[in-house]
């Protein structure tokens, strides 16, 4: 059974002081478990030595979404950078060490690769359903090839197939001009648009053996979170999209 580390983050909401080591939202654990993985907490407050020890004991890592500060110099940013370095070091010697970043976790992974904070833009994307707009890179995507054709058709045509909930992201033009991002990920696999019809990077996967994947949307929410105040889709199509991506990522962890 693959072990997948899940990075914690600070708890900032009103009236709830941060717990020791922060928190991990249950939906991310459920997403991994739905594909047969076991979740292992990696606390953002752990020492570098402890984090490195945990990273060497798991088959991959999930960087969750959230609303925490991921600026340079923060403990969360440093922990995320350690995770990305571990994956890229494995790729450099031909080994598999998959990392999946969701929403803020994707942003954290991308900024760890780029190092350029100026590409971090603001978007009107909180609490909305949408669909994916595939790019030319989708034709060679291992991730998308693993998704059943009818599920892929659903996620690219049904405007309620994925759940977005973010105020930051990456403009496709900025992404293509960033040499480090292009070298690591190439062209994004898919884009999406916010409420103002502004495009943003929605889905990426590493190239040349790099096993780092990122989604600006939340594949874990349709499977593992019920909140009547949010627009999270729970229809069969949305659930199958979420399950397909979980199966792919955990499948990569099984190869680690």
Active site residues: 103, 218
Burial class (CB in 10 A: 0-12, 13-18, 19+), 197: exposed
Cβ atoms of 105 and 214 within 8 Å: the answer is yes
Is residue 203 a contact partner of residue 219, using CB atoms and an 8 Å limit? Answer: no
Separation between Cα atoms, residue 33 and residue 140, nearest integer Å: 28
CA distance 156 to 158: 6
């Amino acid at each position: 059974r693959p072990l997948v580390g899940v990075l914690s983050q600070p708890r900032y909401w009103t009236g709830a002081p941060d717990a020791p080591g922060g928190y991990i939202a249950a939906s991310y654990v459920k997403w991994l478990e739905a594909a047969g993985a076991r979740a292992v907490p990696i606390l953002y407050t752990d020492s570098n030595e402890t984090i490195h020890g945990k990273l060497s004991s798991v088959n991959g890592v999930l960087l969750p979404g959230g609303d925490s500060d991921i600026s340079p110099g923060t403990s969360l940013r440093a922990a995320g950078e350690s995770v990305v370095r571990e994956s890229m070091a494995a790729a450099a010697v031909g080994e598999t060490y998959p990392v999946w970043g969701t929403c803020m976790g994707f942003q954290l992974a991308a900024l760890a690769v780029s190092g350029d904070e100026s590409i971090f833009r603001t978007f009107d994307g909180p609490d909305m359903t949408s669909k994916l707009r595939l790019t030319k890179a989708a034709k060679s995507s291992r991730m998308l090839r693993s998704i059943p054709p009818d599920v892929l058709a659903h996620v690219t045509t049904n405007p309620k197939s994925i759940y977005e909930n973010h105020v930051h992201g990456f403009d496709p033009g900025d992404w293509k001009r960033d040499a480090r991002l292009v070298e690591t990920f190439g062209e994004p696999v898919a884009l999406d648009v916010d409420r103002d019809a502004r495009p943003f990077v929605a889905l990426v996967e590493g190239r040349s053996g790099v096993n780092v994947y990122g989604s600006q949307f939340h594949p874990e929410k349709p499977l593992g979170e019920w909140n009547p105040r949010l627009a999270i889709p729970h229809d069969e199509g949305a659930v199958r999209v979420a399950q397909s991506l979980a199966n792919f990522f955990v499948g990569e962890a099984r190869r680690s």
